[in-house]
Structure 1
Amino acid sequence: MTLSGLGRLAALAALAGLTACASVPPPATGVLSGRLSVRVDGQPERAVSAGFDLSGDAERGSLVLSGPLGATAARADWSPGSAVLRSGASETRHADLDSLGQAALGEPLPMAALFSWLRGRAWAGAPSQPRPDGQPGFHQLGWQIDLSRWADGALEAVRLAPPAITVRARLEVAG
Structure 2
Amino acid sequence: MDQWLIHHIQAFEAPFWTSIMKILSFIGSVNAVSIGSVPIILFLLFVWKSRRETVIFLIAVFGSALLNVGLKLMFQRSRPSLNAIITEVGYSFPSGHSMNAFTFYGILTYLCWRHIPKERIRKWLLAFSSIMIVGIGGSRIYLGVHYPSDVVGAYLISLVWLIVLIQCTRYFTRVKAA
TM norm structure 1: 0.26
Larger radius of gyration: 2
Q: Which has the higher helix share?
A: 2
TM norm structure 2: 0.26
